[in-house]
Amino acid sequence: MNRTDTPVTVIGLGLMGQALAGAFLKAGHPTTVWNRTTAKADGLVARGARLAPTVGDAVRAGSLTIICVTDYQAVRELFGTGDVGLDGTTLVNLTSGDSAQARETARWAEQRGARYLDGAIMAVPPAIGTPEAVILHSGPQAHFDAHKPTLDALGTVTHLGADHGLASLYDVAGLAMMWSVLNAWLQGTALLRTAGVDAATYAPFAQRIAAGVAEWLPGYAEQIDSGSFPAEVSALETDARAMAHLVEESEAVGVNAELPKLFKAMADRSIAAGHGGEQYPVLIEEFSKPGPGDD
């Protein structure tokens, strides 16, 4: 159950930071805030938050400090001054960055005596404080468990593992899914527009296709994890022929074919490596190594 008497500090009051602080206030937590531009705290102060004069004062005010600033460099700059004592504090860094930065910042914080969790927010600011807001955390399980009742005020909070870099990796993996689905939908929409079909008409059909493909993921995951890719549904060489058809159709109607050509180039490399008779997830081998020009 959410302990509403736990004091919380929020550092960084952009749109997301304001939403985080607002959710803690709504849940009844004594909330201290700090931001370079103090005017951004006005609305929160009017709702009962306390505006701290310095970062050090803000950290001392709460048993849990949530950080949501521009980048990891800003975290170091804000917390690296002599005014900020971190010994015995718990920091939950919800700043966006990569997994290497997360691990490096964890070491930096722990060397200064802090308990550190890294996190990623998989939601837009208006969703914060609702179950639709998924907040990922990585770092020591004990640190997460100690503060989960408080963090629950933000939405659906999840602990991924002890590796501080996991939240950042899940974040970008989710972005890969999002952009891939959206780009595939835009490709299909562009194709159908050449025949006078509008996006609103195509969207429900595309939703059904996306949902159907999503049902394949658990079975495909088993193949990837076992390293065995029997062609139970379709062989990669069959899929490659369908990709060629998608490329040809796009070019024939004057639609950009870069995306389907990328699909086919990866499939062609896998087929050339002897995997044409295996199922589509065998392409994990292509995704798991640098692409052309990335070395």
pLDDT in tens, 29-40: 999 999 999 999
Alpha helix stretches (DSSP H) within 80-140: 99-111
User: What does the pLDDT look like over 176-220, one tens digit per residue?
Assistant: 999 999 999 999 999 999 999 999 999 999 999 999 999 999 999
Between vectors from CA 166 to CA 58 and to CA 74, what angle results, nearest 5°? 35
CA 260/CA 211 separation, integer angstroms: 20
pLDDT over 70 (residue 90): yes
Which amino acid, 219?
Answer: G
**pTM across the whole model:** 0.90
